[in-house]
Chains A and B, each alone.
Chain A
Amino acid sequence: MTMSHVGPATKGAAPAPAPRRHIAPRTVDTLVQVSVIVALAAFWEFGARFGALNPFLLPPLSTVLVRLWTDLLSGVVLVDLGLTLYRALSGFLIAALIGIPLGIVMSRSKAVRWFFDPLISVGFPMPKIAFLPIFILWFDIYDTSKIIMVAFSCFFPIVAATYAGTTALDKWPIWSARSFGAREHEILWEVHLPMALPQILTGLQVALPVGMITTVVTEMLMGGRGIGGAMITAGRFADSVGVFAGIVEVIILGFVVVKSLEYLRARLLIWHPETRR
């Protein structure tokens, strides 16, 4: 952007100042965020290198990244990442497939709301991981119990957000649709769901990290393959580099998955003011 000066005051006076370049706010945001991560990584690397902490308790970041690279080349990481992702997304999708319709039905049917409301109110704040021993007994120690545990953890934020989103809607668009002769199912698809979509997506965005955390914790507690299982095995064999490599893998996986959902939100809400901002 250039600044132009007009008017008699500028005539024959000092030359106009050089044009000032403005950095886009988005670029500044990105730079700040990246520099925080770089500073943290540098603090980790040099803190560990200069013996501020026992290298067993905090191995240098470079050592962890070398291990990650070695495991990546051997294919071990990809198998573990794939399994963890499969379990997390399967549980998340099951929770979404049950939670979203149930939240909508609760907002439209008193009988369903009366039945489920107390169950969800009690279940939402409960630590879901406490159910793991029961799920192991019911569904064994393989994938089924892990996926059900993830679905159980993701279900509550999704159903609560959907119910809240479809209940607290502006009545005017609904009345307008009715006055134009729209039927109930048309109002549901054309008015209710689009209006509730931002809140439903927020529920999904809350549930997804919960699902990722639950997956890793169940893998840690139940063993077998997957990032959590690999981390606990590394920990038990005093391989702290392996544990930190697992933490970095979880961070990268979580970042990619959460950013993907953010991208999906922006695409689905392309009409919404929040995306246009």
Chain B
Amino acid sequence: MAIRKGALALATALAAALLTVASPHTASADPVNIRIGWSTMPGHLIPVLYSKPDILKHYGKSYTVEPIRFRGSSPQITAMAANEIDMAAFGPLVLALAVNNARLDVKVVADIIQDGVDGYHSETFLVRADSGIDKIEDMKGKRIGTNAIGSASDTAIRAMFRAKGMRDKRDFTMVEVAFPNIPPMIDEGKLDLGTVLQPMSKQLIASGKYKVLFTSKDAMGPSQLVFLTANGKFLEANRTALMDFFEDHVRAVRWFTDPKNRTEAVKIIADFMQQSPDTLTHLFTKEDYFRDPFMIPNVKAIQESIDIAVELGLSPTGITVDPNYVDLSFVEEAKRRIEAGAQ
């Protein structure tokens, strides 16, 4: 009897131990929450990509997404260093600063938008048509609106001016202004030049009151304007779930950019931006930024932009992006899965 009791106690203890060991597996079955930084709509698309459940195979099962808005790409460095976000929308200079200054373990994982590629849109920097500003040198002593100092468009401005031997604070003043406020401030004469995004850029130029002083392509050449980066440790810790995420992510971008879905896609974006779809006629046309069909970033362009930034003194040192700060395995796996599913 005593032996039977002992065996029962042992069995109970073993069962309890097994349950305890099994419980973390139950916990790990919870979807991974991915906190993604973004700054501009409709350019980055991030906050709307996960709003259509029927195109996402794994959402809510292996991952969920929490988009977090920032003023530009540079403020996301601090957020990533403080472990507030897992992925960020970085520009090339911001990537170099994140690695060199903030010592972040960060990898380029996907494309977001490319500038001036193959006849697609390039970011415009506008002045009033009647301002008398016709060339960069005319900007001496003037005021420039930038969305965030150090951001992708800010880098293009600084690169353009440095190429002409002009520097912030010495030759002109840069002030941080949210993208939507830049056109009214130029109109009011409070700014002389500013970054104007689509669709506003197209509308303002068409009005005849504004003109393009230069584009990002003039400053940097065709470039990988913004790309998705991720914390290296986060990638390693959640590789399986992130494979699912990227499959859905790429699938969603392809759905949004597919001409068959354009009307519905524009409506989703317009609803998010609380604008009329009529104001977004440029979306997913040649007047919009280029997006790679499988979200594969142009690593060579990122490297070239960083080299330019170092040459111009915007970053004290450069980085070798490939292979140290790139992990394309996720988008490549996404491409493989999507292509396999299409057959």
Contacts and interface: CB of A to CB of B under 8 A. Distances in A.
A57 B190 contact: no
Interface residues of A, number: 23
A235 interface: yes
Contacts of A238: 74, 77-78, 94, 97-98, 100-102, 150
Interface string B164-181: 000011000111100000
A210 interface: no
Given A57-B82, A137-B188, A233 B149 contact: yes
A231 to B, nearest CB: 11
B190 A224 contact: no
A239 B315 CA distance: 10
B81 A54 contact: yes
A144 interface: no
Contact of A237 (B101, B174, B191): B101
A266 interface: no
A225 interface: yes
A199 interface: no
B176 A221 contact: yes
Interface residues of B, number: 32
A71 interface: no
Given A55-B103, A236-B75, A239-B101, 17 more contacts: A56-B81, A56-B101, A56-B102, A137-B185, A140-B190, A141-B143, A141-B175, A223-B173, A224-B169, A224-B174, A232-B149, A235-B78, A236-B74, A237-B101, A237-B149, A237-B314, A238-B102
B110 interface: no
Contacts of B188: 137
17 contacts: A54-B81, A54-B103, A56-B81, A56-B104, A136-B185, A141-B190, A221-B176, A222-B175, A223-B173, A229-B169, A233-B149, A237-B74, A237-B97, A238-B100, A238-B101, A238-B102, A238-B150
Contacts of A55: 103
A233 B150 CA distance: 8
B290 to A, nearest CB: 26
B148 interface: yes
Contacts of A232: 149, 176
A57 B81 contact: yes
Nearest to B100: A238
A229 B176 CA distance: 10
Among A140, A233, A238, A239: residue with most chain B CB under 10 A: A238
Contact of A136 (B150, B174, B190, B315): B190
A62 interface: no
Among B100, B143, B188, B314: residue with most chain A CB under 10 A: B143
Interface string B253-296: 00000000000000000000000000000000000000000000
Nearest to A55: B103
A177 to B, nearest CB: 53
Contacts of B104: 56
Contacts of B191: 141
B102 A240 contact: yes
Interface string B183-197: 001001011000000
